[in-house]
């Protein structure tokens, strides 16, 4: 038996377009269906929930694919939150089973890979902003702290990146040998340390400061300079920058 509007949950009804006579996509007018609008008007006119609905293709009884897309955004808070989700977390949203969760994860991974393809060969890493730009899209998928070391040549150009450690939600353990072993093997002149704060606040912790100073001393002995330690977070209305430079904050000064 088809569910009527009065039988739908208040949350779903709030996201129901006025022109939609029922929950099924087939019941929408051709002008309102997101796939047809995309073909007719272009992809940029669609809301994020509608784009997700096209990927999902179907919903469940009482909620069409667009409504499930809107619910995904509400559940995870934003597209950025969605990009950080795991398969199991996606499947917790009603209407998203294993197949749909896999489709969403595949689409998100394609975005990250496209971002990596756009990186120039041997980009120059001479400012914290360039470091943040290099890793910002990748960091969206990191749900725990991760330490990355950028290996640089004499002109501050990237030789390659190495993942040094992955930790708990708010803690990552780093040892000097893990940072400088790949640097020595690559013949790096200097390194930049990068790690993320899953909480979103890039302010360095006491542990961040202590580890950074230990690594600066170790690098000095090996004659491999630690140029900076960039902490990645998320921007907010009160904090527009989504990263901080520990060198710029003065933690590299003796």
CATH number, domain containing residue 74: 1.10.150.20
Number of folded domains that form the chain? 2
pLDDT of residue 151: 97
223, 187 contact by CB (below 8 A): no
How far is the C-alpha of 246 from the C-alpha of 227, rounded, in Å? 10
In the DSSP assignment, the letter for residue 124 is B
Neighbours of 119 (CB within 10 A): 12
Query: What is the mean predicted confidence (pLDDT) over 62-84?
Result: 91
Residues comprising the chain, all counted: 254
98 and 158 both lie in a single domain: no
| Cβ neighbours for 60, distance < 8 A, ≥ 6 positions apart | 68, 94, 95
How far is the C-alpha of 14 from the C-alpha of 197, rounded, in Å? 34
Query: What is the mean predicted confidence (pLDDT) over 83-92?
Result: 90
pLDDT of residue 212: 93
54 and 170 both lie in a single domain: no
* Domain of residue 143, CATH code: 3.40.140.10
98 and 181 both lie in a single domain: no
127 and 235 both lie in a single domain: yes
| C-alpha count within 13 angstroms, C-beta hemisphere, residue 2 | 8
242, 234 contact by CB (below 8 A): yes
87 and 125 both lie in a single domain: no
What would the pLDDT profile of 126-170 be if each residue is shown by its tens digit?
999 999 999 988 888 888 899 999 999 999 999 999 999 887 655
0.85 surpassed by pTM: no
Query: What is the mean predicted confidence (pLDDT) over 92-120?
Result: 87
| C-alpha count within 13 angstroms, C-beta hemisphere, residue 239 | 12
- Domain termination residue (choose one: 58, 90, 114): 114
How far is the C-alpha of 232 from the C-alpha of 174, rounded, in Å? 17
146 and 66 both lie in a single domain: no
Query: What is the mean predicted confidence (pLDDT) over 193-213?
Result: 92
Tokens of 111: 């975005």
108 and 125 both lie in a single domain: no
pLDDT of residue 6: 42
- Domain termination residue (choose one: 99, 114, 129): 114
Q: Rounded to 5 degrees, what are φ and ψ at 135?
A: -115, 0
* Tokens 């360039």 -> residue: 130
What would the pLDDT profile of 112-124 be if each residue is shown by its tens digit?
888 777 766 779 9
Q: Find the domain containing 63 and state its range.
A: 5-114
| C-alpha count within 13 angstroms, C-beta hemisphere, residue 95 | 22
């Amino acid at each position: 038996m088809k569910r009527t509007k009065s039988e739908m949950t208040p949350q779903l009804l709030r996201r129901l377009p006025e022109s939609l006579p029922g929950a099924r996509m087939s019941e929408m007018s051709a002008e309102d269906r997101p796939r047809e609008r995309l073909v007719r008007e272009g992809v940029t006119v669609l809301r994020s929930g509608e784009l997700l609905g096209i990927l999902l293709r179907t919903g469940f009884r009482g909620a069409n694919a667009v409504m499930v897309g809107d619910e995904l955004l509400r559940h995870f808070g934003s597209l950025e939150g969605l990009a950080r989700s795991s398969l199991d977390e996606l499947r917790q949203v009603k209407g998203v089973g294993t197949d749909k969760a896999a489709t969403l994860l595949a689409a998100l991974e394609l975005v990250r890979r496209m971002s990596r393809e756009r990186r120039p060969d041997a980009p120059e890493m001479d400012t914290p902003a360039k470091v943040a730009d290099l890793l910002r899209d990748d960091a969206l998928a990191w749900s725990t702290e991760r330490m990355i070391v950028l290996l640089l040549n004499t002109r501050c150009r990237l030789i390659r990146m190495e993942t040094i450690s992955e930790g708990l939600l708010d803690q990552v353990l780093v040892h000097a040998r893990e940072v400088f072993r790949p640097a020595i093997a690559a013949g790096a002149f200097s390194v930049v340390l990068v790690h993320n704060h899953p909480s979103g606040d890039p302010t360095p912790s006491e542990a961040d400061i202590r580890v950074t100073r230990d690594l600066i001393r170790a690098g000095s002995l090996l004659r491999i300079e630690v140029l900076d330690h960039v902490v990645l977070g998320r921007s907010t209305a009160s904090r527009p920058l989504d990263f901080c430079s520990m060198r710029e904050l003065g933690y590299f000064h003796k």
